[in-house]
């Protein structure tokens, strides 16, 4: 897959087609599924090419790399939405609270509190999702299903944040039901939170799940935002760590 301007536009068209077809098969409206183009490791020029092809929401994993791109594309800032989808250390919360529109990877109250305190007063509250560990291995980030309600309750009360929903990165799977099961558990977890958190007014309108390989399974299970990198920008160079 090439990563020049026209191939990014073609890739985006193909991904939008996949989303439309999956929505049709699931009896859902494609308006209810946002495409987040995951631009990690891509140069700012690739983001500009995607923007020219009508893509406005971008996901980044590495804070410093993202800040460089946000800076390089400062003139386009009003048309861009920047989402942090990678792990966040507490020493980076201030720059993230200042520069991003969304953070999908909140899995600890301490990080959420810092983001809330450090969100500049002139900006709208930072949109956050809680990252849930749906595959259950100790090595992966994400809050457990058991600890999710308590964390959600606490985060919903933070004034600098809007709790939009849940995010997950399931273990890769090839078989359809194996792809769907973790996405279904995430949807059920969000549905269970809604009545509990209703008094807080948290929107809880977002299920951030599905990537290049499994976006159809995620949409079938109710994804409202799919995070797609490879299918938009091509294969990434391998990165250590």
- Residue that the structure tokens 């980030």 belong to: 141
**Considering the complex, what minimum distance in angstroms separates the CB of residue 203 from ligand PLP?**
21
Which residues contact ligand PLP by CB under 6 A? 38, 40, 61, 85-86, 169, 211-213, 227-231
45 or 87, CB closer to ligand PLP? 87
**Considering the complex, what minimum distance in angstroms separates the CB of residue 110 from ligand PLP?**
21
12 or 211, CB closer to ligand PLP? 211
**Considering the complex, what minimum distance in angstroms separates the CB of residue 236 from ligand PLP?**
7
Copy the structure tokens of residue 113: 């509190």
Distance CA 3, CA 39 (A): 12
Copy the structure tokens of residue 85: 């989808």
Four-residue CA torsion sign, 27, 213, 228, 18: negative
**Considering the complex, what minimum distance in angstroms separates the CB of residue 79 from ligand PLP?**
22
Tell me the residue number closest to ligand PLP, measured at CB. 229
DSSP 165: E
61 or 200, CB closer to ligand PLP? 61
37 or 73, CB closer to ligand PLP? 37
């Amino acid at each position: 897959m090439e990563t020049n301007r026209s191939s990014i536009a073609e890739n985006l068209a193909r991904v939008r087609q996949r989303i439309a077809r999956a929505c049709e098969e699931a009896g859902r409206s494609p308006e209810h599924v946002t495409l987040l183009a995951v631009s990690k490791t891509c140069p700012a020029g690739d983001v500009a090419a995607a923007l020219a092809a009508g893509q406005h929401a971008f996901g980044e994993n590495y804070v410093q790399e993202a800040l460089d791109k946000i800076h390089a594309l400062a003139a386009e800032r009003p048309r861009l939405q920047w989402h942090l989808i990678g792990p966040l250390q507490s020493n980076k919360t201030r720059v993230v609270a200042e520069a991003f529109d969304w953070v999908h990877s909140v899995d600890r109250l301490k990080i959420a509190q810092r983001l809330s305190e450090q969100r500049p007063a002139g900006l709208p509250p930072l949109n956050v999702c809680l990252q849930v560990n749906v595959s259950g291995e100790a090595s992966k980030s994400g809050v457990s299903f058991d600890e999710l309600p308590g964390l959600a309750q606490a985060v919903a009360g933070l004034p600098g944040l809007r709790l939009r929903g849940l995010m997950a990165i399931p273990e890769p799977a090839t078989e359809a039901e194996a792809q769907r099961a973790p996405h279904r558990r995430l949807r059920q977890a969000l549905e269970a939170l809604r009545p509990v958190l209703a008094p807080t007014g948290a929107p809880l309108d977002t299920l951030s799940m599905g990537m290049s390989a499994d976006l159809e399974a995620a949409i079938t299970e109710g994804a409202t935002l799919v995070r797609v990198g490879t299918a938009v920008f091509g294969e990434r160079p391998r990165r250590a760590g």
